[in-house]
Amino acid sequence: MTPNPYLWLVPLLPLAGAAINGFLGRRSSKKAITAVALVFCGLAFLLAVVIAARFSSASAPYYFNLAHWLRSGSFQVDFSFYLDQLSLVMLLVVTGVGFLIHIYSVGYMWDDDGYYRFMSYMNLFMFFMLTLVLAKNYLVMFIGWEGVGLASYLLIGYWFTKDSAASAGKKAFIVNRIGDFGFLIALFLMIKHFGSLDFTHVFAAVRPLSPETAGTGLLTAIGLLLMVGAAGKSAQIPLYVWLPDAMEGPTPVSALIHAATMVTAGVYMVARSSVIFERAPTAMMVVAIIGTLTALFAATIGIAQTDIKKVLAYSTISQLGYMFMACGVGAFSAGIFHLMTHAFFKGLLFLAAGSVIHGIGGEQDMRKMGGLRLYMPWTFATMGIATLAIAGIPPFAGFWSKDEILWKAFNASWVYWLIGVITAFITSFYMFRLMYMTFGGEYRGAVVQEAHGHDDHGHDAHGHGNGHGHGEPHESPWVMLGPLVILAVLSVVGGFVGYGNRFEHFLAPVFQGAMEVAQETSHEAVDHTLEYLLMGVSISVAVLGWLLAYLLYSRHPQLPARIAAKLDGLYQAVAHKYYIDELYDAVFVKPLIEGSTTILWHDIDQGVIDAAVNDSADAARHVSDNVRHMQSGNLRSYAGWVAAGGAVVIAYMVWMGVR
């Protein structure tokens, strides 16, 4: 443990940027806002790079106690930060990709009225995300955890005048709260049984415990509750429903929060708690099963989506499923590896999609795109690289990490591997479908429009609806293309970090405890021919998916409609996301609203509480209405009342005296 006094500056720099822009941005120029937002975010990135350069595994982990927070008897929580190999990876990914997306946002959001608000929220998000990643105890992590939820809510509902955006923000927040509830109970259990929330103390207390083989117990409970939290934040079954709706936010938000960083917080948290999970095999199995199912389930939904961002959203859910699958089989470093490469190529995919949407004036329906490779070659090239990466074509980044996961999954059980490979096939198919529909063929959108002709471009009413009319699709400015190119380079070379298991060895100190247990279970198969065989299988399914997409969406574009017509029921189910939203609506939302309306609102609030107040007021008025006639202002009537009162008193005394 080495102190590092610069750690706390990393999250605080973006917070300063957020505060300056948030309080002063309304009155300052766009140039000043841009400078503040980029400088503070860039400084955080630079600082992260410096910290990384001076990082040595020998002296890790680093820590820094900023201030005391809670002191209650022996229980104490501080504002303390922590840096080991795992948080270093997250730190670099978050600041690096985050900074690129900040630059991109300058171009994308320039014409929006709330530019300063947007930049301020983005910086705020960076602050909370870095707090989450650098936390030394679960409570500070929870601050970041809730904070990124808040930033996500603010940014999804950024165009709050749009009803769909406002409700998507609320949905994301509420669904996340369900997960947070699980997380919170897990924290309470830790406080009760370990008396601390500090990573070092908790893990030290957990390490001597033996795995709970019977399947139940404290660690299993904590593990499952943490997984509930992770499922909410990282959009896993059954709490994934908020992520597709979150696409209502501006596209840079989708790239930053809903692809590269925030949604991976759940994976990070599970990996961080690897010591706990390794001693709770049941919880591990649940993580693996949830991850595997989510990967497959979301991928199949992705096939039939026509909104370019929705495809990417389901793809994100599916890829997050891979990461949980990796964590669930004990391959935490493979999960984190995929988290990193995914941040590169999925961030790139979203930014490129944003560039497409920007270039054709706010349209998101892929059926109205096509042929864009001619209009925006840079976007086409970079998005193509990202697609090759996510599909798992070597040597792009996604191949290395995905293959690592599949290999580890195979060691755990061939079922995980099989579903993973099927998912890889589907992934490759829908991603190349997206490419062919967007960039291949002829442009299908309306090219010539009158000056303000795209006011009903429904979905992404992004900023430049007010200025110039959209004629031809056009390439985006360089402030947007620059980040695309950098991310494309990372998507190409990012995978080599893991060549020869270097990434795994780098993270090994963090997952030390986990490794020991994992080794016992997966010691049989260390056969390299098998590994290469499986690698060949995953490459060939990726190529097969590409070929199928090519056949259906480039060679015979009329075929998909015919297939969809033939498989009508199935197609409808997939296109409607298996009616999960409708199911949740009927099972949870409707009864809740009905119950709240009839019982809580009409019966209890209006019938009991309001009625009690109103009735007593009515009664008081009735009584006063009658009694006020006594006060006539006639002096002699008052005297009469006094006399009568005196008479009554005397009569009473006489009567009492007689008795």
Partner 1 sequence: MVPLSYYLLLSGILFVCGVLGFLIKRNIITIFMSIELMLNGVNLSFVAFAAHWHALSGQVFVFFVMVVAAAEAAVGLAIIIAVYRTRETLNVDRVNLLKL
C-alpha–C-alpha distance, residues 510 and 514, integer Å: 9
Task: Specify the residue, 31 or 636, whose C-beta has the smaller distance to partner 1.
Answer: 636
For 437-482, the DSSP string reads HHHSS---S-----TTTTTT--S---GGGSS----S--PPPHHHHH
Number of residues that bind partner 1 (CB under 8 A): 6
Bridge partners, 2 (sequence order): 62
Interior angle at CA 100, CA 41 and CA 360, nearest 5: 130
Sequence-distant (≥ 6) Cβ neighbours of residue 646 within 8 angstroms:
none
- CB of residue 647 vs partner 1: minimum separation in angstroms? 9
| Size of the chain, expressed as the number of residues it contains | 659
Q: Do the bridges between strand 75-83 and strand 2-3 make them parallel or antiparallel, or are there none, so unpaired?
A: unpaired
In angstroms, give the least distance from the CB of 636 to partner 1. Answer: 5
> What whole-number distance in Å separates Cα of residue 261 and Cα of residue 89?
12
Candidates 525, 639, 648, 651: give the one binding partner 1 (CB under 8 A).
639
Nearer to partner 1, 526 or 635 (CB): 635
Quickly count: other Cβ atoms within 10 Å of residue 594's Cβ: 10
Minimum distance of partner 1 from residue 592's CB (angstroms): 57
CA 401 to chain centre: 21
Closest approach of partner 1 to the CB of residue 640, in Å: 5
Q: CB 24 → partner 1: shortest distance, Å?
A: 60
Minimum CB separation from partner 1 for residue 167, in Å? 58
Judged by CB under 8 A, which of 70, 593, 620, 643 binds partner 1? 643
Nearer to partner 1, 469 or 640 (CB): 640
Q: Of 619 and 639, which has the nearer Cβ to partner 1?
A: 639
Name the nearest CA neighbour of 259 among 328, 309, 294. Answer: 309
Which residue, 1 or 649, is less far from partner 1 as judged by CB?
A: 649
128 touches 151 (CB < 8 A):
yes
Q: How far from 397 is each of 89, 337, 341, CA to CA, in Å?
A: 16, 10, 6
Question: What is the distance between the alpha carbons of residues 474 and 378, in angstroms, rounded to a whole number?
Answer: 11
Measured from the CB atom, is 415 or 653 closer to partner 1? 653
Q: How far is the CB of 659 from partner 1 (least distance, A)?
A: 20
Three-state secondary structure call for residue 6 = coil
Asked if residue 649 binds partner 1 (CB under 8 A), the reply is no
For residue 201, the Cα-to-chain-centroid distance in whole angstroms is 28
Q: Which is nearer to partner 1, 448 or 658 (CB)?
A: 658
Task: Look at residues 98, 30, 104 and name the one whose alpha carbon lies nearest to residue 479.
Answer: 104
Q: Rank residues 599 and 644 by Cβ distance to partner 1 and give the closer one.
A: 644
Q: How far is the CB of 655 from partner 1 (least distance, A)?
A: 17
The DSSP secondary-structure symbol of 81 reads E
Q: Which residues pair with 78 in a beta bridge?
A: 68
Say if CB 478 and CB 592 are below 8 A apart.
no
**Torsion, CA 177, CA 183, CA 187, CA 193, rounded to 10:** 140
- Site residues (CB under 8 A) for partner 1, limited to 126-165: none
Site string for partner 1, 598-637 (x = CB under 8 A): -----------------------------------x-xx-
- 596 Cβ contact partners less than 8 Å away, ≥ 6 residues apart: none
Interface residue with partner 1, options 615, 640, 645, 652 (CB under 8 A)? 640
Q: Which is nearer to partner 1, 633 or 657 (CB)?
A: 633
β-partners of residue 79 are 67
Quote the least distance from Cβ 616 to partner 1, whole Å: 30
For partner 1, give the closer residue by CB, 572 or 631.
631
Least separation in angstroms between residue 646's CB and partner 1 is 9
User: C-beta of 629: minimal distance to partner 1 in Å?
Assistant: 15
Nearest distance in Å: CB 591, partner 1: 59
In the complex with partner 1, the residue whose CB is nearer, 559 or 644, is 644
Strands laid side by side in the 2-3 sheet: 2-3, 62-72, 75-83
Check if the beta carbon of residue 435 is closer than 8 Å to that of residue 383.
yes
Q: Taking the complex as a whole, how short is the minimal distance between the CB of residue 648 and partner 1, in angstroms?
A: 14
What DSSP state is assigned to residue 60? P
Give alpha helix (H) positions in 84-114: 85-109
Cα dihedral 255, 256, 258, 263, rounded to 10, equals 140
Smallest distance from partner 1 to CB 653, Å: 14
Q: Which is nearer to partner 1, 624 or 634 (CB)?
A: 634
Among 391, 302, 308, 427, residue whose Cα is nearest residue 356: 308
For partner 1, what does the binding mask look like between residues 363 and 382, x meaning CB under 8 A?
--------------------
CB of 634 to partner 1, least distance (A): 8
**Between 583 and 650, whose beta carbon lies closer to partner 1?**
650
Query: How far is 225 from 192, CA to CA, in rounded Å?
Result: 15
User: In terms of CB distance, is 561 or 643 closer to partner 1?
Assistant: 643
- From the list 75-83, 197-205, 433-441, 639-647, the region that binds partner 1 by CB under 8 A is 639-647
Output the CA torsion sign for 88, 244, 491, 119: negative
Kindly tell me which of 5 and 640 has the beta carbon lying closer to partner 1: 640
Please check whether residue 317 is in contact with residue 390, taking contact to mean a CB–CB distance below 8 angstroms.
no
DSSP code, position 236: -
Contacts with partner 1, residue ranges (CB under 8 A): 633, 635-636, 639-640, 643
